[in-house]
Amino acid sequence: MKEKKIFITDDNKFVIVCPMCQKEETVSASEYKDANQAARIKYRCRCGHTHSVLLERRKFYRRETCLHGVCIGEENSMVGMLVKDLSLIGMKFEIENTQDFISVGKKLFVEFFLDDEQKTLIRKEAVIKIISGLLIGAEFCNTEPDDPTDSMIESYLIP
Ligand SMILES: [Zn+2]
Protein backbone atom coordinates (compact mmCIF):
# COMPACT_ATOMS: atom_id res chain seq x y z
CA MET A 1 0.00 0.00 0.00
CA LYS A 2 1.31 3.43 -0.93
CA GLU A 3 2.12 5.55 2.07
CA LYS A 4 -0.10 8.57 2.40
CA LYS A 5 1.50 11.99 2.33
CA ILE A 6 0.02 14.64 4.57
CA PHE A 7 0.86 18.31 4.40
CA ILE A 8 1.11 20.53 7.42
CA THR A 9 -0.87 23.69 6.88
CA ASP A 10 0.18 27.21 7.77
CA ASP A 11 -1.42 27.03 11.20
CA ASN A 12 0.85 24.07 11.94
CA LYS A 13 -1.90 21.49 11.94
CA PHE A 14 -2.69 18.52 9.81
CA VAL A 15 -5.72 16.41 9.18
CA ILE A 16 -5.43 12.68 9.40
CA VAL A 17 -8.09 10.30 8.13
CA CYS A 18 -8.27 6.83 9.59
CA PRO A 19 -8.32 4.29 6.73
CA MET A 20 -10.35 1.92 8.89
CA CYS A 21 -13.23 4.05 10.20
CA GLN A 22 -12.77 7.14 7.92
CA LYS A 23 -12.84 9.38 10.96
CA GLU A 24 -11.07 12.71 10.49
CA GLU A 25 -8.88 14.12 13.19
CA THR A 26 -7.10 17.47 13.26
CA VAL A 27 -3.72 17.12 14.94
CA SER A 28 -1.26 19.79 16.00
CA ALA A 29 2.10 19.34 14.32
CA SER A 30 4.05 21.09 17.06
CA GLU A 31 5.07 17.85 18.69
CA TYR A 32 6.75 16.83 15.42
CA LYS A 33 8.62 20.07 14.94
CA ASP A 34 12.05 18.51 15.17
CA ALA A 35 11.55 16.83 11.86
CA ASN A 36 12.46 19.71 9.62
CA GLN A 37 11.44 18.18 6.32
CA ALA A 38 9.54 14.97 6.32
CA ALA A 39 8.60 12.75 9.18
CA ARG A 40 7.08 9.33 9.21
CA ILE A 41 4.64 9.12 12.05
CA LYS A 42 2.43 6.42 13.46
CA TYR A 43 -1.02 7.53 14.40
CA ARG A 44 -3.43 5.59 16.55
CA CYS A 45 -7.08 6.33 15.94
CA ARG A 46 -9.68 6.15 18.67
CA CYS A 47 -11.11 3.08 16.96
CA GLY A 48 -7.84 1.32 17.80
CA HIS A 49 -6.43 1.19 14.28
CA THR A 50 -2.82 2.33 13.88
CA HIS A 51 -1.45 3.53 10.56
CA SER A 52 1.60 5.43 9.45
CA VAL A 53 1.72 8.55 7.30
CA LEU A 54 4.44 10.74 5.90
CA LEU A 55 4.23 14.23 7.26
CA GLU A 56 5.54 17.00 5.03
CA ARG A 57 6.14 20.59 5.85
CA ARG A 58 5.08 22.14 2.61
CA LYS A 59 6.43 25.54 3.56
CA PHE A 60 9.95 24.16 3.47
CA TYR A 61 9.65 22.72 0.01
CA ARG A 62 11.24 25.46 -1.96
CA ARG A 63 13.10 24.73 -5.13
CA GLU A 64 15.51 27.01 -6.92
CA THR A 65 14.39 27.44 -10.48
CA CYS A 66 15.16 29.28 -13.68
CA LEU A 67 11.81 29.37 -15.43
CA HIS A 68 10.71 31.99 -17.92
CA GLY A 69 7.24 33.42 -17.77
CA VAL A 70 5.12 36.52 -17.58
CA CYS A 71 3.15 38.27 -14.90
CA ILE A 72 -0.10 39.89 -15.85
CA GLY A 73 -1.61 42.74 -13.91
CA GLU A 74 -4.66 44.93 -14.21
CA GLU A 75 -5.85 45.78 -17.71
CA ASN A 76 -3.63 43.05 -19.08
CA SER A 77 -0.41 44.95 -18.41
CA MET A 78 2.33 42.39 -18.72
CA VAL A 79 6.01 41.99 -18.00
CA GLY A 80 8.46 39.19 -18.62
CA MET A 81 9.91 37.46 -15.59
CA LEU A 82 12.24 34.75 -14.44
CA VAL A 83 11.03 32.49 -11.64
CA LYS A 84 13.94 32.14 -9.22
CA ASP A 85 12.34 29.84 -6.72
CA LEU A 86 9.08 28.06 -6.31
CA SER A 87 7.17 26.48 -3.45
CA LEU A 88 3.63 25.25 -3.01
CA ILE A 89 2.58 28.50 -1.40
CA GLY A 90 4.47 31.05 -3.42
CA MET A 91 7.41 32.06 -5.53
CA LYS A 92 10.23 34.52 -6.00
CA PHE A 93 10.76 36.07 -9.41
CA GLU A 94 12.71 38.76 -11.18
CA ILE A 95 10.95 41.08 -13.59
CA GLU A 96 12.60 42.56 -16.67
CA ASN A 97 11.96 46.16 -15.69
CA THR A 98 9.96 48.14 -13.16
CA GLN A 99 6.22 48.36 -13.75
CA ASP A 100 3.50 50.52 -12.25
CA PHE A 101 1.25 47.55 -11.65
CA ILE A 102 3.83 45.84 -9.48
CA SER A 103 3.45 46.99 -5.89
CA VAL A 104 3.11 45.32 -2.51
CA GLY A 105 -0.39 44.04 -1.86
CA LYS A 106 -1.40 43.97 -5.54
CA LYS A 107 -2.73 40.80 -7.08
CA LEU A 108 -1.58 39.53 -10.40
CA PHE A 109 -1.49 36.38 -12.50
CA VAL A 110 1.75 34.55 -13.04
CA GLU A 111 2.23 32.30 -16.03
CA PHE A 112 5.25 30.15 -16.64
CA PHE A 113 6.27 26.77 -17.95
CA LEU A 114 7.88 24.17 -15.73
CA ASP A 115 11.03 22.61 -17.17
CA ASP A 116 9.63 19.12 -16.72
CA GLU A 117 9.12 16.70 -19.59
CA GLN A 118 5.63 17.93 -20.34
CA LYS A 119 6.60 21.62 -20.14
CA THR A 120 3.57 22.10 -17.94
CA LEU A 121 1.97 25.53 -18.08
CA ILE A 122 1.32 26.99 -14.65
CA ARG A 123 -1.08 29.88 -14.26
CA LYS A 124 -1.86 31.13 -10.78
CA GLU A 125 -3.11 34.21 -9.04
CA ALA A 126 -0.62 35.64 -6.58
CA VAL A 127 -0.36 38.58 -4.24
CA ILE A 128 2.87 40.56 -4.02
CA LYS A 129 4.43 40.38 -0.56
CA ILE A 130 7.85 41.95 -0.96
CA ILE A 131 9.73 43.93 -3.56
CA SER A 132 13.47 44.39 -3.63
CA GLY A 133 14.59 46.11 -6.81
CA LEU A 134 13.45 43.84 -9.61
CA LEU A 135 13.10 40.88 -7.28
CA ILE A 136 9.54 40.10 -6.20
CA GLY A 137 8.25 37.72 -3.57
CA ALA A 138 4.65 36.62 -4.01
CA GLU A 139 2.25 34.26 -2.34
CA PHE A 140 -0.33 32.27 -4.22
CA CYS A 141 -3.87 33.37 -3.46
CA ASN A 142 -5.09 29.84 -3.10
CA THR A 143 -3.61 26.38 -2.95
CA GLU A 144 -5.84 23.38 -3.37
CA PRO A 145 -4.37 19.91 -3.01
CA ASP A 146 -6.92 18.66 -5.55
CA ASP A 147 -6.23 21.38 -8.09
CA PRO A 148 -4.40 19.86 -11.10
CA THR A 149 -2.02 22.85 -11.29
CA ASP A 150 -1.09 22.53 -7.65
CA SER A 151 -0.51 18.81 -7.93
CA MET A 152 1.77 19.49 -10.93
CA ILE A 153 3.73 21.97 -8.81
CA GLU A 154 3.82 19.48 -5.99
CA SER A 155 5.21 16.66 -8.09
CA TYR A 156 7.71 19.12 -9.60
CA LEU A 157 8.91 20.15 -6.14
CA ILE A 158 8.76 16.72 -4.55
CA PRO A 159 9.62 14.19 -7.26
ZN1 LIG B 1 -10.29 4.75 13.11
* Distance (Å) from CA 33 to ligand 1 centroid: 24
* Distance (Å) from CA 47 to ligand 1 centroid: 4
118-134 pLDDT, tens digit each: 899 999 999 999 999 99
* Distance (Å) from CA 79 to ligand 1 centroid: 51
Average pLDDT on 92-117 reads 94
Average pLDDT on 10-39 reads 78
* Distance (Å) from CA 25 to ligand 1 centroid: 9
Surrounding residues of ion ligand 1, Cβ less than 5 A = 18, 20-21, 23, 45, 47, 49
- Record the pTM: 0.65
- pLDDT for position 60: 57
Shortest CA distance to 157 belongs to which of 45, 42, 56?
Answer: 56
For the chain, the straight-line distance linking the first and the last C-alpha, in angstroms and rounded, comes to 19
φ and ψ at 28, to 5 degrees? -80, 135
83-102 pLDDT, tens digit each: 999 988 899 999 999 988 99
- pLDDT for position 34: 55
25-69 pLDDT, tens digit each: 888 877 765 555 567 888 899 999 998 888 876 655 678 899 999
Continuous H helices in the chain: 148-157
Q: Within a 13 Å sphere around the CA of 137, how many CA atoms are in the beta-carbon half? A: 7
> What is the CB neighbour count within 10 angstroms for residue 154?
19
* Distance (Å) from CA 26 to ligand 1 centroid: 13
* Distance (Å) from CA 36 to ligand 1 centroid: 27
* Distance (Å) from CA 51 to ligand 1 centroid: 9
* Distance (Å) from CA 146 to ligand 1 centroid: 24
* Distance (Å) from CA 41 to ligand 1 centroid: 16
User: What domains can you pick out in the chain, each with its CATH number?
Assistant: 4-60 (no CATH), 62-157 (2.40.10.220)
DSSP character string of 8-48: E-TTSEEEEE-TTT--EEEEEGGGGTT-SSEEEEEEE-TTS
* Distance (Å) from CA 40 to ligand 1 centroid: 18
